[in-house]
Amino acid sequence: MRICFVTDGSFSEYTERAAGAADVVICGFQSLGEVSYEQELRGETGYFEDVAILSREKKCAVFAGCFTNARGIRRKSVVAAERGRILGVSDMVNRIDGGEYRAGAGVKIFDTAAGKLGVVVAEDFYFPRIVETLSVCGAEAAVCVFEQFGDALEQTLARAHAFFCGIPVLLCGYGYALAADVGGKIAFASARSPCYYDLVREQEYHIVETRRRGFFKTRRKEF
């Protein structure tokens, strides 16, 4: 699976200089900026259409970060498209300390030709259960679109999520992109835009047994 990370410039700038073929294109929040649902529906803007067109022309899946505005309710979101069709929009589901951006509802996995890809939006990356849920529900990789990285926290979390949840983590933010493998190692990192990474699918399953109290069942009496 060939992954293209777009970490700088607008979406239109990327489409003009896009060269290499990829199965999945992941764009940071700078690519689309703010998107108003009302203006999109009235045809005054065409951000989602641009994403769909790129996915059709490149015959790939595209995940692009944006700040959606629904009648004044602003959210951090990722729009997904494949081969000319919008698959859906995934919103950040955790709002920290009453921040500017509201929480959405539910995490999403998109079934694409490249595989089942789960989406992690911005600060949701700080919540381990998000990636764990995607893994349990069958995602083959976690696509995280972030804003801007800190010192080393996001790298550490990417490695931890990939190791504990058993799925590769693909992290794209402003000015930097990385991929962590299921062994908990950084398999790829680059500050170039666009940059390309060939993801090798790794699916390992193990039987894990634990002993714990509770779950007591009363034996049924014979008739």
φ, ψ for residue 43, nearest 5 deg: 80, 10
CB 67 within 8 A of CB 101: yes
Output the pLDDT for position 85. Answer: 94
pLDDT digits 0-9 by tens, 77-134: 999 999 999 999 999 999 989 888 999 888 999 999 999 999 999 999 999 999 999 9
When mean pLDDT is compared across 1-10, 142-151, 204-213, the lowest value belongs to 204-213
CA separation for the pair 163, 205 (Å, rounded):
12
Q: Which residue type occupies 208? A: V
Q: Is the dihedral of CA 174, 180, 185, 191 positive or negative?
A: negative
Supply the DSSP symbol for 116: E
Residue 46 confidence (pLDDT) above 70:
yes
* Beta strands per DSSP E along the chain: 2-6, 24-27, 34-36, 61-70, 73-82, 85-91, 109-112, 115-121, 141-145, 169-173, 176-180, 186-190, 195-198
CB 61 within 8 A of CB 117: yes
Share the mean pLDDT of the chain: 91
pLDDT digits 0-9 by tens, 176-215: 999 999 999 999 999 998 999 999 877 778 888 888 888 7
What are the CA-CA distances from residue 183 to residues 150, 168, 171, 204, 206 (Å)? 23, 9, 16, 11, 14
pLDDT digits 0-9 by tens, 28-40: 999 899 999 999 9
Residue 74 confidence (pLDDT) above 90:
yes
The residue with tokens 């294109």 is: 25
The whole-number average pLDDT for the span 33-56 is 93
pLDDT above 70 coverage of the chain, percent:
96
Q: List 68's β-bridge partners, or say none.
A: 35, 75
Omega of the bond leading into 194 within 30 degrees of 0 (cis): yes
Residue 19 confidence (pLDDT) above 70:
no
Residue 27 confidence (pLDDT) above 90:
yes
CA separation for the pair 197, 28 (Å, rounded):
16
- What is the rounded (10 degree) CA torsion for 104, 180, 114, 86? 20
Q: Is the dihedral of CA 136, 128, 108, 113 positive or negative?
A: negative
pLDDT above 90 coverage of the chain, percent:
70
Output the pLDDT for position 223. Answer: 61
Output the pLDDT for position 18. Answer: 66
Closest by CA to 11, choosing from 69, 44, 58, is 58
